[in-house]
Structure 1
Amino acid sequence: MPAVPEWDVLLRGGVLRALSQRGCRSGWTVSNFRGRARLHITARAGDGHRKQLLLPYPWESDQLEAIRDGVVAVYDAFHQGVPLEQAIAELSEAKAEADARRQAAAMASEPSVLQPSVMATATTNRSAPIDWPGLIRRYQQHKLRSGEIKETTWERLYRPRMALVLKTVKGPPVIRDATQLLEAQADQWSQRPGCRTRRMQIQYTAALLRWAVSQKLLTGPWAPPPELSTFIGRSRENRTVTTPIAVPDILAVVETIPDPRWRFAFQLLCAFGLRPEELQHLQLRQGRLWCMYEKVASRGKTKPRPLRLLPCDQWATEWQLLETFDPARLPPMRAGFGSDSFSRYLLRREHWQRLRQQYEAQGEKLVLYSCRHGYAHRAHVFCDLPPKVVAAAMGHSVQTHLAAYSRWCGDDVVDDAFAKAEQRLTPEG
C-alpha cells in the first residue's frame, strides 16, 4: 500500500484544527475521492443524516488552504441555518466567481487598447469583430466616472461577471446577438434555474449590452429584451426569507451577551435599525447621533443621516444610548467586515443558536440583519410611519425599502392598518 503523502496528512489535520477553533470537535472530515476533495459529515454533527459531499477543489497539495477554508465556510453557513447542499452550491459559486476574477485580472494585465475604428466598424458591419475587452473597459470607466459604483464594487461584483462575458463571446458557439449571449450564459447554470448567481450574471450582462447599444458601440441586435425572466429561470426551491426579530427576543439576547462591547453594539443595531457596517461610522454631532456611512448602489449614494429611536420603543429609550455613546465602547471590527465579525460572535452564543432554531421551526430565518428588519417592521406596524419616512430614516431609497420590506406585509398587517384607518376616519359621536 503506497505511503500517504505528507501534505495529505497536513491537509486533514489543518481542517480538523480549523473546525476545532469553531467548537467542532468531531463529525466533519475530508478525504480524497477520485482526485476531488470530499466532505464527510456524520448524522449527529450534521442535519440528522450522514452526508458525503464533493467540494469544488481538486485533492492536490497546492489546494490545502483552499480546502480548509472551504470546509470552514460550509460549517459556518450550516450553523447560520443554510442547508448543507445549498452551502456547498454557494461555495462552488464563490469559487467560480473567484476563478473568473483571477482570469479577468490576468486579461487586464495584458496590453490591449480599444480601437475606435474597429468599434465604429462594428456598429455598421455586423460581421466585423467586436473589441469586447475594450468595450468592457469603456463600460468600467463609465460606471466609475458617473459615480454609480466604487472601484471596490467593480472588482468584487462586476469584474468576475465581465470575465464570464469575455469567455462566452469567444465561443463556441459563435455569438451573434444579445439573445444568443444571454442563452449561452444561462446554459452554464442550466440545472439551477433562478439561482442568485445565474440571475446576477444575466442582469449584469444585459446592463452592459443595454449601455453599449445606447452609446452606439453595438448595433440593434445586441439590445437585450426588456424581460429577462426566461434567461434567469424560475427556482424550484422555496427560499427562506430572513425575519424581523421580535422585541422580547431582542431584550433576551441583550441579557445573554457577556461582553459589554458587543452588547452595546447589538443595542445600537436594534434601536436604530443600523447595518452592521454602520457601527464603525457613528458620530455625535450637536447632541444627535449621526451615521456617516455612504453606501454606493445602483440607485445612488446614501447620505449621512441622523439616527432616530422609534416612538414605540420605550425599551430603547431606557438604554440611554445617545447619552452614553462613545466609539471606544464598541468592539474592534475590521473595516468592510462588520457584518462578518458580528455574525461570528453571535454564532458562539448559545442563546442566539437556540433562538435561531426556534425561528427555523416556524419556517423563518433569524440573522444579524433581522435587527434592521425589526426596526422597519415596528416603524410600519406600530408607528404607522409611511415608507418614504422610514426609508429616509434607514438610509436607503424608497424602491429598495419597498422591495426588501413589503414581503412581511401579510394579511394580519393589512387588516390592522385598515382597522386603524377606519378608527381615524370614523366621526366621533
Structure 2
Amino acid sequence: MTPWQSAICGHLQPLLLPLLRSPRPPPTPHSAMARTTAQPWEKNLRQLVKATHGRGWSMGPHRGGRTQLTRRFSDGSRASVTTATPWAPASSPSLLALVERIDALMREHPQLGLADAAQRVGAITSTASAATLREGAADWAELAEGFRRYLVEQTARVKPKTWKNTYRRHVEQTLAVLAGKPAPRTGQAVLERLLEAHPTPAGGTGRRERLGNAARFLTWAVDHGGAAERYRPPASRRELIGRRGQAKHQGVPLRDDQALRVYRAIVDPRWRLAWGLLVVFGLRPAELGVCQAEGSVLRVGGVKANSTGAHGSRPVKPLDPQGAPGLGRELLAVLAERGRDALPPDCVAALWSTRMQQQLVRHTPVWADVLAEAAATNQGHLTVYSTRHGYAWRGGQVYLLTPRVLASLMGHTIQVHLRHYGEGAAEAEVAAAVDAAVARVHQIPARAG
C-alpha cells in the first residue's frame, strides 16, 4: 500500500467503522410482501369492478379482515364505507354483486350517498351471498320488524294495538308469500299470490285492507329497506280489489217498540246504557268508545273511517223513541255522573259491534224474539247497526227533520245519507205519507177571489 493510500484509509476509517458495525436490516417476511403486493384474485376483482362500473370504484382490505369500498366522484371528491363482507378470495362474487347493487341504487336515487346506499342493501350490518345481492333479495323478516318500528315507534302512525290486531297478521301473510316456491319476483306478483292464499270476496273491506297493508309494507321495504325496485307494488290496486258482485243490502230500521223491548231486557247496566246510546243518538257502534256527555248533547269524537281519514267530532241531540220521552236526558245524566265507567270496558273500535252482538245473543233472549218477529213479518234482517237506521227513520218520519239535518247529526254527508238511509220505504209507509199530504192540502181553505 502506498503512503497516500495509507493516509486516505486512516482518514476514512473512523467514518466507515460505524457503518460496518451497524446490524444489517432483517429480510422482509413473506406476510409483509403479501400486504404490499396484490394477489391475482385482487387484481382480477378490481379489474372487473372498473370494467363494469367505471374507474371511480375501488376496494381493498380494511382492519379486521373486512372490505373497504371507495367511490370517487367526477368533482374529485370521494367517499368510503367499510362493509361486513370479508376481504378474501371466496368473497369475490359477493363483492362484485355488492358493487352492482350499490351502483344501481345510487344511479336510481342520485340523492343517496355511498353510506346510505350501502346501508339500504344491508352491506354494512350483515353479509349476504352473491346470489342474494345480485337478485336484490332482502331479509324480509328483518324488514318486517323495521316496518313495525317505523310505524309504531318512530312515527307513531299506528298504535301498538292496531299493529297487533291488523297489520301484524297481514305482514306475516305477506312474508309467507315471499318465502313461497317459486318466490314472487315483483310487487304485483306478491299481491296476486296473497289473494290466492287468502281468497275473499271482490270489493270487500277485508280484501281492500289486506292488500293495502301489504302494499304499504312493500313500499317501505323498497324506499327504506333496500329491497329491489321491482318489489314496489302497483300504483293502483283497483283491479286487484275488484268490485262487489251485487249491491250491498240496505240497512233495515229497528222500530221504536223493538228497540225499547231490548233496552228494558238487558240486565247489565253498562250494556243497557250502550244500547240506549245507539238507539237514542244513532251512533255507530265504534263511537261508543269516543262519546261523552256535554250538557244537553252527546259529544262524539272522531273514529277512523277509512284510509283517507276519520270522522270529525260532532254534537248529537237525542231523538227519543216513541213511548220513552226523556230517555235521552236520562242516559246523558248517567254518563255525565259516572263517565267512562258507566260503559263496558273500552276495546278496539271495530270490535264494539261484535261485542254488542254477542251480548244480545248470549244474555238477552228478547233479541232472538225480535229477530224472529222481523223475519216472520218480512221486516228484514236486523243487526246492531239497525239502531242507527232506526234513528234515521225516526228523525225523518216522526221528528220531520230534513235529510241535511239528519246527515249532520249522524256524521256523514248528505249524499251518504240519501244513498243508505233515505231509501227502502215500505209500500204502506209511502201510501200513508201520500194520504196524509193529500188530506192536509184539501183542508186548506181556498183563497177569496
Task: Provide the TM-score with structure 1 as the length reference.
Answer: 0.53
- Structure 2 residue 345 is matched with structure 1 residue 342: no
How far apart are the structure 2 equivalents of 1:118 and 1:290?
53
SS of the residue 2:403 aligns to: coil
1:219 counterpart residue number:
229
How far apart are the structure 1 equivalents of 2:322 and 2:192?
54
- Total equivalences in the alignment: 296
Of the structure 1 ranges 366-375 and 175-184, higher mean CA displacement relative to structure 2 is found in 366-375
SS of the residue 1:325 aligns to: helix
Answer yes or no: is the 8 Å Cα contact 1:115–1:131 preserved in 2.
Answer: no
1:73 counterpart residue number:
none
2:368 counterpart residue number:
353
How far apart are the structure 1 equivalents of 2:214 and 2:419?
28
From 237, 252, 259, the equivalent of 1:243 is 252
- Structure 2 residue 255 is matched with structure 1 residue 271: no
1:344 partner letter: Q
Give the aligned CA root-mean-square deviation in angstroms.
Answer: 4.7
SS of the residue 1:130 aligns to: coil
CA deviation map 1:338-392 (0-9, x unaligned): 5455333322333211222333453833222221333345556752232xx6565
SS of the residue 1:166 aligns to: helix
From 364, 384, 391, the equivalent of 1:368 is 384
2:119 partner letter: P
Flag the 1:284–1:254 CA change in 2: closer, same or farther, 3 A: closer
1:307 counterpart residue number:
316
Answer yes or no: is the 8 Å Cα contact 1:243–1:364 preserved in 2.
Answer: yes
How far apart are the structure 2 equivalents of 1:185 and 1:359?
40
How far apart are the structure 1 equivalents of 2:157 and 2:139?
24
From 320, 325, 331, the equivalent of 2:334 is 325
2:344 partner letter: M
How far apart are the structure 2 equivalents of 1:134 and 1:238?
42
CA deviation map 1:137-194 (0-9, x unaligned): 4544554455543221111011110011111112211211122112211111459666
How far apart are the structure 2 equivalents of 1:394 and 1:146?
32
1:393 counterpart residue number:
409
Flag the 1:142–1:289 CA change in 2: closer, same or farther, 3 A: farther
Answer yes or no: is the 8 Å Cα contact 1:271–1:309 preserved in 2.
Answer: yes
SS of the residue 1:306 aligns to: strand
How far apart are the structure 2 equivalents of 1:115 and 1:376?
59
Give the greater-gyration-radius structure (CA).
Answer: 2
CA deviation map 1:86-145 (0-9, x unaligned): xxxxxxxxxxxxxxxxxxxxxxxxxxxx97330799xxx983113434444454455445
How far apart are the structure 1 equivalents of 2:119 and 2:289?
45
How far apart are the structure 2 equivalents of 1:146 and 1:383?
44
- Structure 2 residue 171 is matched with structure 1 residue 162: yes
Equivalent residues in 2 for 1:3-402, closer than 5 Å? 116-118=119-121, 127-144=135-152, 148-189=157-198, 197-209=206-218, 219=229, 222-229=232-239, 231-232=240-241, 242-257=251-266, 262-276=271-285, 278-279=287-288, 282-285=291-294, 287-291=295-299, 293=301, 295-296=303-304, 298-302=307-311, 304-310=313-319, 317-319=325-327, 320-321=329-330, 324-326=333-335, 327-328=337-338, 333-336=344-347, 339-347=353-361, 348-360=363-375, 362=378, 364-379=380-395, 382-386=400-404, 390=406, 393-394=409-410, 398=413, 402=416
Flag the 1:177–1:341 CA change in 2: closer, same or farther, 3 A: closer
Gaps spanning 5+ residues in structure 1: where?
A: 1-113
Answer yes or no: is the 8 Å Cα contact 1:281–1:292 preserved in 2.
Answer: yes
2:419 counterpart residue number:
406
Flag the 1:158–1:378 CA change in 2: closer, same or farther, 3 A: farther
1:130 partner letter: A
1:335 partner letter: D
Flag the 1:236–1:187 CA change in 2: closer, same or farther, 3 A: same
TM-superposed CA distance for 1:267, in Å, is 2.3
How far apart are the structure 1 equivalents of 2:289 and 2:303?
13
SS of the residue 1:171 aligns to: coil
How far apart are the structure 1 equivalents of 2:375 and 2:235?
39
Flag the 1:300–1:236 CA change in 2: closer, same or farther, 3 A: closer
2:54 counterpart residue number:
none
TM-superposed CA distance for 1:208, in Å, is 3.5
Answer yes or no: is the 8 Å Cα contact 1:277–1:339 preserved in 2.
Answer: yes
1:21 counterpart residue number:
none
CA deviation map 1:324-348 (0-9, x unaligned): 4345598662221654553333223
Identity of aligned residues (%): 26
CA deviation map 1:206-228 (0-9, x unaligned): 34345666779652662325243
SS of the residue 2:168 aligns to: helix
SS of the residue 1:366 aligns to: coil
How far apart are the structure 1 equivalents of 2:190 and 2:383?
37
SS of the residue 2:183 aligns to: coil
Answer yes or no: is the 8 Å Cα contact 2:396–2:402 preserved in 1.
Answer: yes
How far apart are the structure 2 equivalents of 1:163 and 1:226?
22
CA deviation map 1:291-335 (0-9, x unaligned): 46553453335555433124x866565323366434559866222
How far apart are the structure 1 equivalents of 2:169 and 2:408?
32
CA deviation map 1:273-299 (0-9, x unaligned): 2244644655444x2344465534533
How far apart are the structure 1 equivalents of 2:137 and 2:345?
46
SS of the residue 1:226 aligns to: coil
Flag the 1:299–1:360 CA change in 2: closer, same or farther, 3 A: farther
